Amino acid sequence: MKKILLLAIPMVAALAFGIIRGNYAEVGGWIYHQAMATEASLYGFKEHQADIGDMTLSYYRNENPGKPVVVMLHGYSADKTVWLRFARHLTSDYDIIIPDMAGHGESPYSEEWSYGMPAQADRLSRLLKTLDVAAAHVIGNSMGGFLTATFAINYPQNTLSATMIDPAGVMSPEPSMMMKMLAEGRNPFIIHNRKEFDQFYAMTMEQPPIVPDIVLEAVGKKYESRREQLKKIFEDFHSSDYLEERLSELKAPAMLWWGDQDKLLHVSSVGVWQAGVPDLKVHVFEGIGHMPMVEMPGETADMYMAFLSDL
């Protein structure tokens, strides 16, 4: 609490100065960065860099030697910070690694790289080797869920369990709001102004955490500045082969979560995953959107720990 209060003083001063100077988004970005750094520290996470050969990946880790390793994978256009409030509940019993995958967060982007799932799975494999991790429990959201399943199929020897949260990777029987927009030629992730960002942000969660407008302004501006990069990443990972024909190869203990109000990826996809993955444990959250681990971090963390403890 003392750390939070001390942080609040310069935040308030910076906010007032920034508004006077008209640097609303810049101040919002500073506030967001400071808040995430403080939360990570309070929860016991440190930021590290790992050289995996052709790039250096940024990641959080709580350094809990001897404990089982859990790897948490963010979705497209997100970063490692989305996991902090979920991960805080697991720090006593697990060694947690939360990477920024290539092209996201503090990890680098290059037009020359592929951001398809096989390439990202290879990078995750090299990250684990670099960190001397033989096998891990892997949990991922959205694109990260697609990556989780791809990794579990391609690297079964390195996968202790696989948990997919509202994952991409299969064709849903019913189109989501996002899929309808894409069919009309509009990608909601490609942002040109604050109005488009607000429409997009409303699609990501049904029960979002409280975020100050000044921070949302900064996040929106970041999406605008990364528009061309995000187009490239989206094209690459959406051109990856879908997993319907390979789901039966996912042999690790597996769990699937979905928010029934998900506007990005339709909940009807649950049936596709159930039909393909043997012995898949499934939970559908009522009144929750695309990111259950952000919308209800404590409850989902408890469910995840119960799943792991039963393995």
pLDDT at 9: 38
Residue-wise pLDDT for 9-63, tens only, equals 344 444 444 444 458 778 778 888 888 999 999 999 999 999 999 999 999 999 8
pLDDT of residue 7 exceeding 80, the answer is: no
Residue-wise pLDDT for 199-213, tens only, equals 999 999 999 999 999
pLDDT of residue 138 exceeding 90, the answer is: yes
In whole angstroms, give the CA distance from residue 250 to residue 244.
11
Q: Does pTM surpass 0.75?
A: yes
Residue-wise pLDDT for 160-218, tens only, equals 999 999 999 999 999 999 999 999 999 999 999 999 999 999 999 999 999 999 889 99
In whole angstroms, give the CA distance from residue 103 to residue 126.
16
Locus of tokens 């996040």: 219
Backbone φ, ψ for residue 258 (5° rounding): -150, 140
pLDDT at 106: 96
Mean per-residue pLDDT, 89-93: 97
DSSP annotation of 64:
-
With beta carbons less than 8 A apart as the criterion, state whether 206 and 295 touch. yes
Average pLDDT, the chain: 92
Buried b (16+ CB within 10 A) or exposed e, 171-205: ebeeebebbebbeeeebbbbbeeeebbeebbebbb
pLDDT at 309: 97
pLDDT at 148: 98
pLDDT at 30: 83
pLDDT of residue 258 exceeding 70, the answer is: yes
List of residues 6+ apart from 88 with CB closer than 8 A? 43, 44, 297, 301
Mean per-residue pLDDT, 297-309: 98
